[in-house]
Amino acid sequence: MRIKLKKQLNFAEGKGMLDIDTQIEDGSFVAISGASGSGKTSLLRLITGLEKAAQGFIKINGETWLDTANQINLPPQKRRVGYVFQKYALFPNMTVRQNLNYALEKNQSTSIIEELIEEMGLSSLINEPPFKLSGGQQQRVALARALVRKPKILLLDEPLSALDEERRSSLQDYLLKIHQNYNLTTLLVSHDMGEIFKMANQVLVLSAGKITQAGTPESIFLNNRISGKYKVSGEILQIVPSDVVFVVKVKLGNNIVRVIASQEEVLDMRIGERVMLVSKAFKPMIIRGRKA
The pLDDT assigned to 22 comes to 97
**pTM tops 0.75:** yes
Strand segments (E) across 35-179: 55-60, 63-67, 72-73, 81-84, 153-157
Architecture of the domain whose range is 2-221: 3-Layer(aba) Sandwich (3.40)
| pLDDT interval class at 290 (50, 70, 90) | very low
Q: Give the start-to-end residue ranges of the domains of the chain.
A: 2-221, 230-288
Mean pLDDT of 169-197: 88
Does the pLDDT of residue 243 top 60, yes or no?
Answer: yes
| pLDDT interval class at 164 (50, 70, 90) | confident
Mean pLDDT score of the chain: 88
- pLDDT tens-digit readout, 62-99: 999 999 999 999 999 999 999 998 787 899 999 999 99
**Quick one: DSSP state of residue 236?**
E
| pLDDT interval class at 292 (50, 70, 90) | very low
Does the pLDDT of residue 280 top 70, yes or no?
Answer: no
CA distances from 7 to 36, 75, 157, 279 (A): 18, 17, 19, 31
CA distances from 263 to 33, 82, 112, 157, 228 (A): 23, 35, 41, 29, 22
Task: Say which range, 11-15, 158-162, 229-233, has the weakest mean pLDDT.
Answer: 229-233
Pairwise pLDDT comparison (163 vs 7), residue with the higher score? 7
Q: Do domains 2-221 and 230-288 have the same CATH topology?
A: no
| pLDDT interval class at 26 (50, 70, 90) | very high
Report the candidate in 177, 175, 146, 137 with the shortest Cα–Cα distance to residue 80. 146
Instruction: Using a pLDDT cut of 70, give the percent of the chain over it.
Output: 91
State which fold the 230-288 domain adopts.
OB fold (Dihydrolipoamide Acetyltransferase, E2P) (2.40.50)
Report the candidate in 229, 267, 266, 228 with the shortest Cα–Cα distance to residue 250. 266
Mean pLDDT of 200-224: 87
The pLDDT assigned to 287 comes to 62
The pLDDT assigned to 283 comes to 55
- pLDDT tens-digit readout, 113-153: 999 999 889 999 999 999 999 988 998 999 999 999 999 99
The pLDDT assigned to 81 comes to 95
The pLDDT assigned to 204 comes to 97
Mean pLDDT of 39-45: 96
The number of beta carbons lying within 10 Å of the beta carbon of residue 51 is: 17
